[in-house]
Chains A and B, each alone.
Chain A
Amino acid sequence: EPEVTQTPSHQVTQMGQEVILRCVPISNHLYFYWYRQILGQKVEFLVSFYNNEISEKSEIFDDQFSVERPDGSNFTLKIRSTKLEDSAMYFCASSPGGTDTQYFGPGTRLTVL
C-alpha cells in the first residue's frame, strides 16, 4: 500500500539555522499538506498546496516558513530561521482529488536547541 514518506525522521538544529523537511507524497495525489504537533498537544494545520501554489495557510505559517514542490515527487517545508518554539513533530500529508481523506506520513521530529 502506498505511503507518505518523510525524511529525516529526526532533525536537530541550532536556533537561527535554516532547516528543510522533506516529504514524498503518495504518487498521483494532488493535494499536499504540512501539519505540526508540539509534544503532547494537538495536531495543527500549517499549509496546503495544490497545483503548484499555496491554497490555504494558517496563522502559524508566517514568513519564516515556505513550501516547495521542486520536482514531481518531493514536497518540502523550509523554516528559514528556526526558533525554540518550532520544536515539534512535523507531519506531511497528501490526498487525491475527489476525496476528503488525508494520508499522513510518519513525521519528522524537529528539535531546536
Chain B
Amino acid sequence: QQQVKQSPQSLIVQKGGISIINCAYENTAFDYFPWYQQFPGKGPALLIAIRPDVSEKKEGRFTISFNKSAKQFSLHIMDSQPGDSATYFCAARGTGRRALTFGSGTRLQVQP
C-alpha cells in the first residue's frame, strides 16, 4: 500500500523530443508528490513537486500531470536535452509524515 510504481525503467529519447515518465500509487493518504533528478555519483535533487489539489504544474521544460482519481502522476520533459540524461525518481509522502517513498527510478538517456 505504501509503494509507488514507476515506469519505464529506462528511456531513450532524441534531443528535442518529449520524455514521459509515469508513476502510480495506492495509498490515498499521500499528499505530496515530488520528482527527483539524480546524476551519477550525486544525491537526488528536487526537480518539481505537486500536491493533489492541482492537476498540473509546470516549471520551465518540466511538467507534472496529476490524476487523483486514477492515482497516477507523470513527469513530462519537453525539448529534452542531453544534459537531462539522468535517473529520475518519483516519490510520495503521506499526510503528516516526513518520509518519502520513492519509485524504482527511470534512467533517461537523451541522444544528441
Tell me how many residues of B have a C-beta within 8 Å of chain A: 22
Q: How far is the CA of A56 from the CA of B101 in the complex (A)?
A: 13
Q: Which of B44-52, B55-63, B65-73, B74-82 contacts A (4 or more CB under 8 A)?
A: B44-52
Q: What are 10 residue pairs bridging A and B, where the CB atoms are less than 8 Å apart in the complex?
A: A4-B43, A33-B99, A42-B89, A43-B102, A48-B99, A58-B99, A100-B32, A100-B49, A102-B100, A104-B45
B98 touches which one: A43, A48, A105 (CB < 8 A)?
A: A48
B15 at the interface (CB under 8 A from A): no
Residue numbers in A under 8 Å from B102 (CB-CB): 42-44
Residue numbers in A under 8 Å from B98 (CB-CB): 31, 33, 48, 50, 55-56, 95
Residues of A whose CB lies within 8 Å of any CB of B are 4, 31, 33, 35, 41-45, 48, 50, 55-56, 58, 91, 93, 95, 100-107
Chain A nearest CB from B28 CB (Å) reads: 18
- SS class, residues of chain B in contact with chain A: strand
Are B97 and A42 interface neighbours, CB within 8 A? no
Are B43 and A100 interface neighbours, CB within 8 A? no
Residues of B whose CB lies within 8 Å of any CB of A are 32, 34, 36, 41-46, 49, 89, 91, 93, 97-105
Chain A nearest CB from B71 CB (Å) reads: 18
Which of B42, B43, B46, B101 gathers the greatest number of chain A CB atoms within 10 Å?
B43
